[in-house]
Amino acid sequence: MGKTTVLDTVTTGAAHNGVRVLRAAGMQFDADINYAGLKPLLVPLFNDFDILDDVHRDALRAAVGIRCRPAP
């Protein structure tokens, strides 16, 4: 059994039990972009950023490029 099969099985079981599952895959052309792996992972959570305190919300927004300021 491969690693992807194990991940698929675990995430399917977790989702079936009501757990929110987030997955992302890295790509070679993103290797030089800071926080590139965070954006696809966090897109489903953008609307939930507002529940965070200002410091953490602003840091995440900057890291994924939805706020005009340097990433932390």
Residue 72 has pLDDT above 90, yes or no: no
Burial class (CB in 10 A: 0-12, 13-18, 19+), 19: exposed
Which tens digit of pLDDT belongs to each residue from 9-54?
Answer: 999 999 999 998 888 776 676 666 677 777 788 888 888 888 999 8
Asked whether the CA dihedral 5, 8, 13, 19 is positive or negative, the reply is positive
Q: Give the pLDDT score at 2.
A: 85
Q: What is the pLDDT of residue 17?
A: 96
The pLDDT of residue 70 is 59
Residues sharing a CB contact under 8 Å with residue 69, sequence separation 6 or more, in sequence order: 58, 62
Beta carbons within 10 angstroms of residue 60's beta carbon: 20
Cβ atoms 11, 23 nearer than 8 A: yes
pTM of the model: 0.54
